[in-house]
Amino acid sequence: MHNVKIIAAETYYYKDRNNMFNQIIQSLTATVKKAFDYKGRASRCEFWTYAIAAWVVNLAMLIVIAIFSAIAEVLGMILAAPCVVIMIAMLVVGISLSVRRLHDVGLSGFWLLYLSPYGLPVVYVAYLLGLDSTCDKLIEKNNKIGSCWLGWILTILAWAVGASAVLFLIFLYPGKAEANEFGENPCSAK
């Protein structure tokens, strides 16, 4: 069968589904092999193929753990250990891929640290809360979340949502067509 390629959308449509599946597997394998490669660029197709696959795998593992935990809590705990290892491995690959994706749009990989929803703001807020003894007294006195804690929690949540939205939009943005300081265009290098 003949393959149809739409270049502008960076998406490939195949009449032969086996060929499409093989392309996805090859893309994921190539991405995993670059787990510790923070140089170069990654295309939108490479990034989103891995992101969707990782999301599906994580969801499947969580469902399986939930089912086994409902049957017997010990089974869920036993099954959770290898799943956590798999999730950490996927996170390592995802961080590397995200850095290379940022390179594709012409940004430094440090943008991932700046916009990480769980990075610097969480550490900073934890530090401030450790210094503010009135928050601890307020919580002990009222036995509930005090107003200063609520403000910090809402700040962290707002940062996480905002930073995630910015990263999402950056990852949707097409890469530079020409070579940039991080290397050649991954779509033209093939």
Model pLDDT for residues 14-61, shown as the tens digit of each residue: 455 667 778 888 888 888 888 888 888 888 888 999 999 999 998 998
Q: What is the pLDDT of residues 101-124, one digit of tens each?
A: 999 898 888 888 777 765 555 555
Question: Highest-confidence range of 10-14, 40-44, 157-161, by mean pLDDT?
Answer: 40-44
Tens digit of pLDDT for each residue in 81-100? 888 899 889 889 999 999 99
Residue 173's closest CA among 41, 33, 26, 27? 41
Please tell me which residue, 61 or 152, carries the higher pLDDT value: 61
144-148 LR contacts (CB < 8 Å, sep 24+): none
Torsion region of 40: left, alpha or beta (phi above 0 gives left; psi -120 to 50 gives alpha): left
pTM to 2 decimals?
0.68
State how far the Cα of 44 lies from the Cα of 134, in Å rounded to an integer: 48
The mean pLDDT value of the chain amounts to 75
The single residue listed with the structure tokens 């995200």 is 98
